[in-house]
Amino acid sequence: MARNSSGTADQTPVGIIGAGPAGLMLSHLLHLQGIDSIVLELRSREYVEKRVRAGVLEQGSVDLLNATGVGDRMKRQGLVHEGIKLRFSGEEHRIDFRKLAGRSITVYGQQEVVKDLIARRLSDGGDIRFEAQAVAVGDISGQPTIRYRQAGDHRELRCRVVAGCDGSHRVAASSMLDDSFQVYERQWPFGWLGILARTPPATDELIYAHHERGFALHSMRTPEISRLYLQVPADETMDHWPADRIWDELRIRLNEPKLKPGEILEQGITPMRSVVTEPMQRGNLFLAGDAAHIVPPTGAKGMNLALNDVNILAEGLVEYFRSGARDKLDTYSERCLRRVWRAEHFSAWMTGLLHRDPAGDPFEYKLRLSYLRYVTTSTAAATTLAENYVGFDPGPTPLA
Ligand code: APR
Ligand code: PHB
């Protein structure tokens, strides 16, 4: 077991596995309330700061970053968007978020959020252990321990509570799952080939394009850097996608002649999955973010759900460490899941609406086109898309 300088075992009130948006924000929120934590992260600092992921923040996430003092760079560099464009059948239609849902979104890369949180945690004296791999969580109904490996050593961290924020790797989840849990899962028959490229965005707002050759998305990071995606088969590899083919396909599917090829800075293929683990907790182990649920990226919800979970978890932990009361902690999963399922539904709905069905059923194709026309001509349907995209939190009370 690892010993610290005083010769005792390493311990902390809250052991956090994973330095993604969930783990880092949780550590930050707890610190602001005077609660210590230790974050164990499998990868190096450089790796997590460079890992390219999604980049859409709902207003609620922007507000959380600002309210907790980590929003300065986002305020300067984030791109505020008041709508998105839908393209299909050679037409373009705008969904006006501001008009339909009264809110905007901010385009700001997930790794920028991660950089801002790491910088702040370290300047606040936070303990983030990089290249530390959690291998198991033990005794989750009592005083849990995290067994981890760092620099070839086997170590142990004793905690009062463990937060599994380890993304889709699921070391934390596998330490608690048994027959009493439900894991709901859907594997989508396609993935996204994503590139980050040095080329000015050919659009001022995100373009979601439905095309008979497959879905495409034009997003962006800065006035010089674009983020672009193509629907590809689930088992596709990059070998089939030389740069010329990527650019040709993007221009065709996006129907965007202004898009100019540029240096590809990063590329990769991500399979698409929908997953929800219920409940998201057991004893003193709590799952948050991708460790608890995964959404396909079409609805741009992943980072927002992760931040929402840890905001709710931090509230429960603060109450617990201040007074010993577990009321909020015990209802953590329940309080998260309403929003999680709304986002799961929305993400699956957007995915089905915009992607080409690999089975190529012509009836499905016509239904999809009809729905796209409905969403772009009916205020009620457009409002459904807008209010979900900007972030909808279904309250406990149904409409009267
Ligand atoms: N030990 C320590 N760290 C681990 C382990 C492990 N065994 N396994 C995974 N990790 C780390 C990963 O290296 C990663 O940095 O946990 C972190 C999980 O971070 P994310 O994957 O970013 O997950 P989360 O914080 O929940 O954020 C969700 O990330 O994948 C996107 O679309 C998703 O936007 C969403 C967001
Ligand atoms: C991104 O900018 O990476 C992005 C935007 C919207 C999505 C998914 C990803 O739906």
Q: Which of 28, 31, 81, 293 is catalytic?
A: 81
Ligand nearest to the CA of 297: 2
Q: Is 297 a catalytic residue?
A: yes
Q: Is 144 a catalytic residue?
A: no
Tell me the CA–centroid distance for residue 372 and ligand 2, in Å.
19
Structure confidence at residue 219 (pLDDT)? 97
Nearest CA to ligand 1 atom 36: 303
Structure confidence at residue 9 (pLDDT)? 61
* CA atoms 107, 111, 112, 113: torsion sign: positive
Tell me the CA–centroid distance for residue 15 and ligand 1, in Å.
15
Q: Which of 3, 7, 39, 30 is nearest to 132 (CA)?
A: 39
Cα distances from 318 to residues 160, 165, 313, 334, in angstroms, run 13, 18, 9, 18
Structure confidence at residue 153 (pLDDT)? 95
Tell me the CA–centroid distance for residue 20 and ligand 1, in Å.
5
pLDDT, block means (10 residues), the chain with 400 residues:
51 98 98 98 97 94 98 97 97 98 97 98 98 96 96 96 93 89 96 98 98 97 96 96 98 96 97 97 97 97 98 98 97 97 98 94 94 98 98 81
Are the CB atoms for 9 and 156 separated by under 8 Å? yes
Q: Lay out the sheet containing 91-96: strands in order across.
A: 91-96, 83-88, 207-209, 216-220, 225-233, 182-198, 263-278, 293-294
Give the atom of ligand 2 at the shortest distance from the alpha carbon of 54: 3
Q: Which of 168, 135, 174, 117 is nearest to 40 (CA)?
A: 135
Choose one of 24, 41, 45, 174 to mutate for the ligand 1 pocket test, by most ligand atoms within 8 angstroms of C-beta. 41
Ligand nearest to the CA of 309: 1
Q: Lay out the sheet containing 105-107: strands in order across.
A: 56-57, 105-107, 79-81
Are the CB atoms for 115 and 55 separated by under 8 Å? no
Q: Is 81 a catalytic residue?
A: yes
Residues 6+ apart with CB under 8 A from 85: 92, 93, 94, 95, 203, 205, 206, 207, 208
Write out residues with Cβ below 6 Å of ligand 2. Answer: 54-56, 206, 217, 219, 227, 297-298, 300
With a 6 A CB cut-off, is 48 part of the ligand 1 pocket? yes
Tell me the CA–centroid distance for residue 165 and ligand 1, in Å.
6
Residues 6+ apart with CB under 8 A from 371: 353
| 0.75 exceeded by pTM | yes
Nearest CA to ligand 2 atom 6: 300
pLDDT tens-digit profile of 136-167? 999 999 999 999 999 999 999 999 999 999 99
Q: Is 301 a catalytic residue?
A: yes
pLDDT tens-digit profile of 268-303? 999 999 999 999 999 999 999 999 999 999 999 999
Q: Which of 10, 327, 283 is nearest to 139 (CA)?
A: 283
With a 6 A CB cut-off, is 126 part of the ligand 1 pocket? no
Structure confidence at residue 388 (pLDDT)? 98
Residues 6+ apart with CB under 8 A from 311: 25, 29, 64
Choose one of 114, 121, 166, 294 to mutate for the ligand 1 pocket test, by most ligand atoms within 8 angstroms of C-beta. 166
Q: Is 258 a catalytic residue?
A: no
Rounded distance between C-alpha atoms, residue 206 and residue 218, angstroms: 6
